[in-house]
C-alpha cells in the first residue's frame, strides 16, 4: 500500500490567483498522477509526473495552466494557475508502483474559486 498526504485539504481562492497543491508519499514511487474531479463528476487524468522527466499531459490540459513538479520519488506538486470559477474541483494525487499493481489515491484537495 501507500500513504499519500495532500496539502491543503481544501482552499477558497480568488480568481486570477494560483494555488500549489502538494503530494507527499510515504515511500518511493516511480509513477505519480494528478486527477481532477469536477463537482458531481468522475475523475479525469490531468497528467503523469515521473521523476526526472517532464510531466505528460492529457488532452485538454496544458503545462501553462497546470505546471507540475516532481523533484524526487516521494513528492510532487500541481499548480492551478490563473484560476477561474471553472477550476473549482477536487484535485487528487495518485501513485502507482508499477505493472500489475493498483493505484492509490490521496484524500484530495477541494478547491473553490470565487
Partner 1 sequence: AQSVTQPDIHITVSEGASLELRCNYSYGATPYLFWYVQSPGQGLQLLLKYFSGDTLVQGIKGFEAEFKRSQSSFNLRKPSVHWSDAAEYFCAVGNSGGGADGLTFGKGTHLIIQP
Binding region for partner 1 (CB under 8 A): 4, 31, 33, 41-45, 48, 58, 92, 94, 96, 98-108
Nearer to partner 1, 33 or 66 (CB): 33
Q: What angle do CA 23, 63, 41 make, to 5 degrees?
A: 65
Rounded Cα gap, residues 32 and 71, in angstroms = 12
Find the shortest distance in angstroms from Cβ 16 to partner 1: 28
Find the shortest distance in angstroms from Cβ 48 to partner 1: 6
Nearer to partner 1, 48 or 77 (CB): 48
Nearer to partner 1, 80 or 92 (CB): 92
Compute the radius of gyration of the chain from its Cα atoms: 13
Residue 98 φ/ψ region, left for φ over 0, alpha for ψ in the -120 to 50 degree band, beta for the rest: left
Q: Could you identify the residue written with the cell 495518485? A: 94
CB 109, CB 10: distance < 8 Å: yes
Amino acid at each position: 500500500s501507500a500513504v499519500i498526504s495532500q496539502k491543503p485539504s481544501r482552499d477558497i481562492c480568488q480568481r486570477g490567483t494560483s494555488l500549489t497543491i502538494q503530494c507527499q508519499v510515504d515511500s518511493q514511487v516511480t509513477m505519480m498522477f494528478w486527477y481532477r474531479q469536477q463537482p458531481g463528476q468522475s475523475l479525469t487524468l490531468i497528467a503523469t509526473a515521473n521523476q526526472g522527466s517532464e510531466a505528460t499531459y492529457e488532452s485538454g490540459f496544458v503545462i501553462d495552466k497546470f505546471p507540475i513538479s516532481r523533484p524526487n520519488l516521494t513528492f510532487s506538486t500541481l499548480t492551478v494557475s490563473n484560476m477561474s470559477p471553472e477550476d473549482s474541483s477536487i484535485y487528487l494525487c495518485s501513485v502507482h508502483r508499477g505493472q500489475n499493481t493498483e493505484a492509490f489515491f490521496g484524500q484530495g484537495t477541494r478547491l473553490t474559486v470565487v
